[in-house]
Amino acid sequence: MAKLVPENHPALHTIAEEFTAEEFADGTVTKVLKDLRQAIKTYKVDGFTAVAIAAPQIGMSKRMFIIEDQSSDSDRIPTVIAVNPKITKFSKKTHVVGEGCLSIPDQYGLVRRSTNVTLTATDENGVAYTRGAGGLLAQIIQHENDHLDGILFTDRAEKVWTKDEMKGDEKREAPLT
């Protein structure tokens, strides 16, 4: 069973490798996707559920992330499977948003992100696609793509709080990715 690796794991601090055509053909991509889905479903801390996870978070230095909202909200975030993703366009407009991370469960922070992005990737079958995203989805795509480049949200954060400092301050609540 795939599990989240600790914050100091080397996979979280190195640039992940792209999947090859052979890895699509031999089932490696399918296995990593299955492991990511398994790991994301197991996360629930203090009532928070996960919305996204990247392969480095389970110790695999490969370029894949999934966005798969585990909440029961009616306005759930759309599912995105991104293999070998690249953000090809960032809006000039930015905003500072709250973030949390499955890999750093005791910290939250404020991170400056572009309000809109364009993502180019392939799905689990190797079919290329391009999609735009705004708001929360754009933020999550940027956060997950950072994982593939060995960057944690705390590396970009303008301010970081511990979970204890956050207690009772709902204004800073952040999605866990």
What sign does the dihedral 171-81-19-103 (CA atoms) show? positive
As to burial, measured by CB atoms within 10 angstroms (0-12 exposed, 13-18 middle, 19+ buried), residue 66 is buried
> In which residue are the tokens 């070998």 written?
84
Active site residue 144: yes
**Candidates 23, 68, 99, 144; catalytic one:** 144
**Residue 6 amino acid letter:** P
In the chain, where do the E strands start and end?
44-45, 48-49, 52-54, 64-67, 80-90, 94-101, 104-114, 116-122, 128-134, 159-162
Which residues belong to the active site?
Answer: 144
